Structure 1
Amino acid sequence: MAFTPHSTSKLQSEINVTPLVDVMLVLLVVFIVTAPLLTNAVPVNLQNRGHRPARHAAAAGREYRR
């Protein structure tokens, strides 16, 4: 079958969705497996020292004029 420039057959332009579905299923499985692993929290021991007032702007080296 040689290619002829004046061929009467139409070009078939279809997207092969099988690889797309395969990739989507693999990504779905990867996310389903990794999601529970990301929800495990690391325990952090934060000391509660109470509320400490913020430093005044002048004490921090900045002066604000109004």
Structure 2
Amino acid sequence: MSDDLLATAAAAEPAEGLRAVRALHTLADRLEALHVERARQAGWSWQQIAECLGVSRQAVHQRYGKRFG
């Protein structure tokens, strides 16, 4: 799947490439949420999660705090 998506993202046709980029963003968002949830269930702090994601504690808490508080 990822090889096909990568090939599509690199397509010469802008519409195909942009749809693939959107699909990659969606996949990345879902994976991030999954692992933030797992980290919170494992007792990780917002700071630990933020450091792994390379963002501020405030940013990750703002995005996921209500879901995985």
**Quick check: TM above 0.5?**
no
Q: Give the helix-richer structure, 1 or 2.
A: 2
Structure possessing the higher radius of gyration over alpha carbons: 1
Greater relative contact order structure (CA < 8 Å, 6+ sep): 2
TM-score tier (shorter): 0.3 to 0.5
TM-score, length-scaled by structure 1 = 0.37
Q: Provide TM-score, normalisation by structure 2.
A: 0.35
